[in-house]
Amino acid sequence: MRLIATIATAALATATSAHAAEPALEFAFEETVTLDADVTVGQTSLGTRNIVPITGGTFEGPGIRGTIMGGGWDWQSRRADGCLQIKADYMLRTDDGGVINVVNTGVSCRAKDPKAVVRTHPVFEAPQGKYDWLSQGCFIGTLDPVSLPGGKRAVRIRFYRVS
């Protein structure tokens, strides 16, 4: 009985110390995503829908840089509480030719509170090799509108790896 109690205590101590580490954030990269005019879909059973075409942009961070490929989209739904449920799906092309899919989801309540912070949860699908760390990690993002020369619409997204 004493042996079982000793083993249980050791297992509990190991589990507690393994789970005691608080998550930390490490900057991964920043995007400037250019956008086209909204396409209004209208009312659906899930809310008022809107599509924002993604036309391009750039990204850069430690060990990664490139362009955002045109043809992606941000599928938005205006919820009953006035917030936007967002889901963007687009591709990155690294400066060395890698193509990475990004599916970035989140909620924006800026229509209700212009100072509200928009957090996102990106999931990356990267080719095996140099960019595996994107497919294997957990990330969060921040999203802010930016003004570009010529009045072109864009958002700045900063991604952080959770460790």
Q: What is the pLDDT of residues 76-112, one digit of tens each?
A: 999 989 999 999 999 999 999 999 999 999 999 998 8
Q: What pLDDT was estimated at residue 21?
A: 86
Helix (H) or strand (E) holding 56: strand 47-61
Quote the percentage of the chain above a pLDDT of 90.
75
- Kindly state whether residue 136 falls inside one of the protein's structural domains: yes
- Kindly state whether residue 156 falls inside one of the protein's structural domains: yes
| For range 116-139, the mean pLDDT | 96
- C-alpha span between 58 and 27 (Å, rounded): 16
- Kindly state whether residue 16 falls inside one of the protein's structural domains: no
Structural domains counted in the chain? 1
- Kindly state whether residue 10 falls inside one of the protein's structural domains: no
CB 82 within 8 A of CB 109: yes
- pLDDT above 70: residue 8: no
- Kindly state whether residue 112 falls inside one of the protein's structural domains: yes
Give the up-direction half-sphere exposure of residue 5: CA atoms within 13 A in the CB hemisphere.
2
Assign residue 129 the CATH number of its domain: 2.40.160.20
Mean predicted lDDT score pLDDT of the chain: 90
Print the domain residue range for 94. 25-162
